[in-house]
Amino acid sequence: MAADNFFNSTRLRILLSILVCCLLSSLPVLAAYDDSYTVSVYQPRMTKTEFSNVTREGALALMNRHILNYEVRAKEAARRKSQILVFPEYGLYADIKDFTRDSIENFLEIIPDPKVNITWTPCDLENTTDDITIQRKISCMAKKNKLYIVANVGEREPCVFNYNSSCPMDGRYQYNTNVVYDPKGTLVSRYRKKHLFHEPYFNTPRVTDHQVFNTPFGKFASLICFDIYFQYEIEELKDEGVLNILFPNMWFNIPPLFLSVPLHASIAWASNINLISANLIMDEPQGVTAYRTGGSGFYSGMSGEFSYSHVPGLLTANMTNIKYHTHSRFEKVPKRKTPVRGNQTVHNPIFADILFYTIELTDYSGNVSVCYDSTFCCGLEYEFELPINDSVSYWLGVANTFNIDACTVFLGNQTLGMIPVDKDFQRAKFKSIRLFASDFDTPFVFPQVIVTNRETYEVLDPISYYKNGEIYLSHTSPLHSMSLLNRDYHRIPVSISHRTISSVLLVIAMLVLSLLHI
């Protein structure tokens, strides 16, 4: 059959168009979104000074100080042509001490489900008697500045207590909630934090509702702080076609494993998503009860472009939309033989309640290892750029905490949240360095490499150093730390979306049917 005849066949053309249609509908993120969008996050700085035992009017007055500040930021974000602005977790009341379940109640509002009340626009409800002062202000802020606003607020939902219900005895659920208002001031998403982190005054929602929302510049959803630590939350969102995740948080910096920026960048990279993080800088004057928080940024997992800041203020970036469904970068890690344990002295420092087993890198070069309770070992092959002397001290460490096995190399004796400034920077460089584990149980490995330039640190794109569960770098900049975190999940995320599989099956089925009819 000649090619012309072949393509002129009407049947075939119908068949082809069915095929094209099916293929199009099977690609989850092929909708007509803009290529990129401009987004701002606001990173405030606060100190705990106020008490929580106030009336509703008192609570509103306390929150209003921050709302006034939000309004200034929203105006500036609009001036920078931002289409979306994200405020951090606890942004309206992080400075308030001693919340209890009762004392936080005055900071909460009843917020309808935008899936039910689909055009709820508090800014237009001038004469409402409902107690929605904060919602009205955020809604008006979005409307006035014509942008999407993501704010973390406290939510109250009345319920009827009886012994068979999950309703608390005080007759209300209290949630840590993200609200999103669109440029008309209409509520488009109400997401309740699922993985609370030492927040006894809030309830865990009974059902997970991601409350995905569409904009002309992409499909979005939000997560809150500790939620991001649970990879299946991200995989579920990806299965719904969400590749842009907005992330209000108040993340506690716990070096060397859990610094906000490197960890969030690593999660975005491993998951192949755009992650937009709004963190809050909390000064703890006593420094006893908590550790410093802070570090916000824009992490493009696909390209490895990360921009971030530890300075308070408004940050703005252009994000490129990821155009198609991207698989996460998890793969099974082969077992490796770690070097034989030498006779180095093993130390047991405790950073932020986390016990480490560490050895010091005392030689110019070497192959060393350290093990955790004989369950798993971390190996390191390294050579310094210059002969070492006492001015620089690096440690190889291993830890097991928060459901991770971790291997880490870090500079000096790190104090919490602080970037060590070494006396002899040239000696903090490696000619080559390879970090690996004897055995990672799961494919969920999150790599981080942080180099430093005295003032601040830089997070490297894992593409440049990570492969098959190991970190390898040559001729490094001065190294702050490098880590491999292996997360042990109780639930295995789906790596290929069910939708993709079923669409492929559908295409095949239609093809077979059409051929039978020819």
Write out the residues near ligand NAG by the rule CB under 6 A: 38, 51, 53, 112, 116-117, 120, 126-127, 162-164, 316-318, 343-344, 347, 349, 365-367, 381, 389-391, 413, 424
Cβ-based nearer residue to ligand NAG, 5 or 162: 162
Neighbours of 119 (CB within 10 A): 10
Whose Cβ is closer to ligand NAG: residue 245's or residue 361's? 361
Decide if 398 contacts 377 (C-beta within 8 A): yes
Round to whole Å and give the CA distance between 139 and 128. Answer: 14
> Whose Cβ is closer to ligand NAG: residue 77's or residue 451's?
77
Residue in 230, 239, 251 with CA at minimum distance from that of residue 212: 239
Residue 57 or 240: the one with the smaller Cβ distance to ligand NAG is 57
For the bound state, the minimum distance from the C-beta of residue 192 to ligand NAG, rounded and expressed in Å, comes to 16
CB of 34 to ligand NAG, least distance (A): 12
Q: Considering only CA atoms, which of 196, 180, 174 is closest in space to residue 115?
A: 180
Q: How far is the CB of 318 from ligand NAG (least distance, A)?
A: 4
Q: How far apart are CA 130 and CA 275, in angstroms?
A: 35
The Cα–Cα gap between 399 and 437 comes to 12
The distance of closest approach from Cβ of residue 371 to ligand NAG in the complex, given in angstroms and rounded to an integer, is: 17
Nearer to ligand NAG, 125 or 302 (CB): 125
Within 151-297, residue ranges assigned H as helices are 231-239, 260-271
Q: 127-134 long-range contacts, Cβ below 8 Å, gap at least 24?
A: 131/56, 133/60, 133/109, 134/60, 134/63, 134/67, 134/92, 134/109
Of 226 and 372, which CB lies nearer to ligand NAG in the complex structure? 372
DSSP state of 226: G
Minimum CB–partner distance for residue 345 and ligand NAG (Å): 7
If the CB atoms of residues 196 and 378 are measured against ligand NAG, the closer one turns out to be: 378
Residue with tokens 């890690």: 333
Q: Please provide the distance, in angstroms rounded to a whole number, between the alpha carbons at the two ends of the chain.
A: 15
In whole angstroms, how close is the CB of 257 to ligand NAG at the nearest point?
15
Q: From the CB of 274, what's the least distance to ligand NAG, in Å?
A: 15
**Among 416, 481, 469, CA closest to 440:** 469
> Whose Cβ is closer to ligand NAG: residue 244's or residue 503's?
244
Q: Least distance in Å: CB of 388 to ligand NAG? A: 8
Whole-Å CA distances, 189 to 115, 148, 317, 515:
8, 11, 23, 45
Q: Which residues pair with 365 in a beta bridge?
A: 383
Nearer to ligand NAG, 258 or 410 (CB): 410
> What is the closest distance, in whole angstroms, from the C-beta atom of residue 154 to ligand NAG in the complex?
16
The radius of gyration of the chain from alpha carbons, rounded to an integer in Å, stands at: 26
Question: How far is residue 156 from each of residues 172, 202, 237, 265, 471, measured CA to CA in Å?
Answer: 7, 9, 25, 33, 46
